[in-house]
Structure 1
Amino acid sequence: MTPTTTDVTHRLVPSPAGRIHLVEQGTGPLVLLVHGFPESWYSWRHQLPALAAAGYRAVAIDVRGYGRSSRPDDAAAYRLRELVADNVAVVHALGEESAVVVGHDWGSAIAANSALIRPDVFRAVGLLSVPYAPRGGPRPSEVFASMGGDEEFYVSYFQEPGRVEAEIEPDVRGWLAGFYAAFSADTMPAPEEPEPHFVARGGTLRERFPKGVLPGWLSEDDLDVYAAEFERTGMTGALNRYRNMDRDWEDLADFDGAPLTQPSLFVGGALDASTTWLADAIKAYPTTLPGLMSSHVLDGCGHWIQQERGDEVSRLLINWLDSLGS
């Protein structure tokens, strides 16, 4: 019988954060799955049983600040180096010396930096939605502040503690539904409508979300899972990842321009701004990802790629993992 997510094992393991909650399924070579914003281990619900059935030990974590993992109070505790240390701790807590790491959205950056900083632990890296771009250029805050003209880029909007939390808190479930819909292929605003990555001065992000519609990949029950987690934990731990981009830029100075040399995979959505805005990063892959073995941009797909195209992404992951060998 094909495994389902009812066959998973939930576990808490020690990490520099305190604890990391993970969900595990299958046996074989370890594949660590790292989600993005605003998600959880549940984002990998399609991949966990598929990878397990293919002969892999699939482990999806709640990133520091999410779900049942620890949520440090200090915003600086969410810098990339700290999240890399969590990933290393998970691998060792599971009794392994090495793993393949796969990430989506912010998880893609966490996965890439895990492989960059700890190549002794992470032997291969899969990147979903957000391409790899080496550290470099001006401070991220300066770049984001220059975007949007009279409007404010969402990353800048997220910087001030409490600001976007105040927008979300009155209706967490509704905000999440709108955020997911805004960047899904079947529900995203038309090109002539206001861009949901930007906020009008004095406005809110929510104003530009689609109203009263869920994307095809997200059931009411799925939304309930996400909403229940964030209603319990609040959003600050998740948002603190955005509040460390300048710290990351400083922390990673020794890796300025560094290529990611392990065997790698990239899968993006053709309708995802992460793919289109960062097209130059993808073009640079021969230099920045010299170990790239497989690269795919899925037509008609938005940002939530492993949920929008669960079976297809699982197949691409398995084909790539099989090519790596154990």
Structure 2
Amino acid sequence: MLLEAGYRVVCPDIMGFGRTDAPHIDQASDMAYYSFKRAADDIKELARQMGCETIILGGHDWGGAIVYRTALWHPELVSHLFTVCTPYWAPTKTHAPLASLVETRLPNWGYQLRLASGDVENRIVSKPDIKQFLNAVYGGRGPNGEAGFSHTKGPLYEHLPKLNRTPLMGEELLEFYGAEYERHGLRGTLNWYRNREQNFNDELRLERKTIDVPVLFIQATNDAALRTLFP
């Protein structure tokens, strides 16, 4: 659709996904690889190398969060932005640990605690395991309606082997993503769930708190993770 409208479309992988290096986190400074500031700077450099003075920026989930922060760190670069399933939250001077948010305000984010724990990447390692995990995340169900993923608990390992195929992802696509994640495992992707403190420290230096360009936010009606924010 965007190509047909005459736009040039570029879809870079954020760190930890796709063909990125997905570097290990061996010390605190390594968390910067998985920060909104680093991603925003990477996008700016990519735009420079492509000869773009301004860009329209869009993203989903973590990509959506990065879109907003890019507009804050580099407001001269972004002319318009859109996000899918990622509402805007302004930078704050009060750090709220994820566990505290889950306990007091956002119980539907309990899955994020599990994904950040290190348990998932240690148990979901092989390509068949990864495909089972992705099948669960995309709504695969067992013969009696069993779910393989809970928004409050994360992966339900005992159910993964018996899930039927999700209608949202065909075998070809599931095979592709299984192979992509097998390269580095889930570790790089899940590092984004461990990086709240790094992002908070970065944003203490942010002077801009509001986004002054046109924004389109697309909300998924049945997104369980957002129901606490948008009942």
- Per the normalisation by structure 2, the TM-score is 0.82
Aligned CA-pair RMSD: 3.3
Percent of residue pairs identical: 29
Q: Look up the match of 2:151.
A: 197
Corresponding pairs, count: 222
CA distance in 2, matches of 1:147, 1:153: 11
Report the counterpart of residue 71 of structure 1 in structure 2: 22
Q: Which whole-Å deviations, capped at 9, do the CAs of 1:50-107 have from their partners, x for residues lacking one?
A: 2111111011111112221232223442111111111112111212121111010111
**Is 1:176 paired with 2:134?**
yes
For the 8 Å contact 1:115–1:260, the answer to whether it is kept is yes
CA 1:208 to 1:273, structure 2 compared with 1: closer, same or farther past 3 Å? Answer: farther
**Would you say 1:206 and 2:160 are equivalent positions?**
no
Q: Secondary structure at the match of 1:127?
A: strand
Q: Which deviations, in whole Å up to 9, do the C-alpha atoms of 1:273-310 show, x marking residues without a partner?
A: 24322228xxxxxxxxxxxxxxxxxxxxxxxxxxxxxx
1:112, 1:132 within 8 Å by CA — same for their partners in 2? yes
Structural mapping, 1:3-152, within 5 Å: 50-73=1-24, 74-136=30-92, 137-144=94-101, 146=103
Residue 112 of structure 2 corresponds to residue 155 of structure 1? yes
- Paired residues of 2:130 and 2:181 also in contact (CA < 8 A): yes
- Asked if 2 retains the 8 angstrom alpha-carbon contact of 1:83 and 1:110, the reply is yes
Q: Is the 8 A contact 2:130 2:178 kept in 1?
A: yes
Distance 1:102 1:121 in 2: 13
Question: Counterparts of 1:152 and 1:261 in 2: how far apart (Å)?
Answer: 29
**1:246 equivalent in structure 2:** 197
Deviations 1:233-287 (A, max 9, x none): 211111111111122122112448922221110111110124322228xxxxxxx
Structure 1 length normalisation: TM-score? 0.60
| Residues 1:222 and 1:67: Cα distance change in structure 2 (over 3 Å) | same
Superposed counterparts of 1:219-238, under 5 Å: 219-238=170-189
**What SS does the aligned partner of 1:92 have?**
helix
Instruction: Indicate conservation of the 8 Å contact 2:59/2:66, yes or no.
Output: yes
Alpha-carbon contact 2:40-2:70 (below 8 Å) kept: yes
Unmatched 5+ stretches in structure 2: 25-29
**Letter paired with 2:38:** E
Distance 2:56 2:107 in 1: 43
Asked if the contact 2:2/2:9 (under 8 Å) is kept, the reply is yes
Deviations 1:127-172 (A, max 9, x none): 1012111123542334345259999922222223x42112211411
Structure number with higher strand proportion = 1
Whole-Å separation in 2 of the counterparts to 1:259 and 1:242: 24
Cα–Cα, structure 1 residues 262 and 212, in superposed 2: closer, same or farther, change >3 Å?
same
User: Structure 1 residues 95-104 or 256-265, which shifts more?
Assistant: 256-265
Question: CA 1:238–1:263 in structure 2 vs 1: closer, same or farther (change >3 Å)?
Answer: same
Contact 1:115 1:121 in 2 (8 A): yes
State the Cα distance separating 1:194 from its structure 2 match.
9.7
* Alignment check: 8 A CA contact 1:139 1:249 kept: no
> Offset at 1:108?
0.6
Gap regions ≥5 residues in structure 1: 1-49, 281-326
Distance, in Å, in 1 between the alignment partners of 2:106 and 2:79 is 42
3-state secondary structure, aligned to 2:2 = helix
Query: Partner of 1:279 in structure 2?
Result: 230
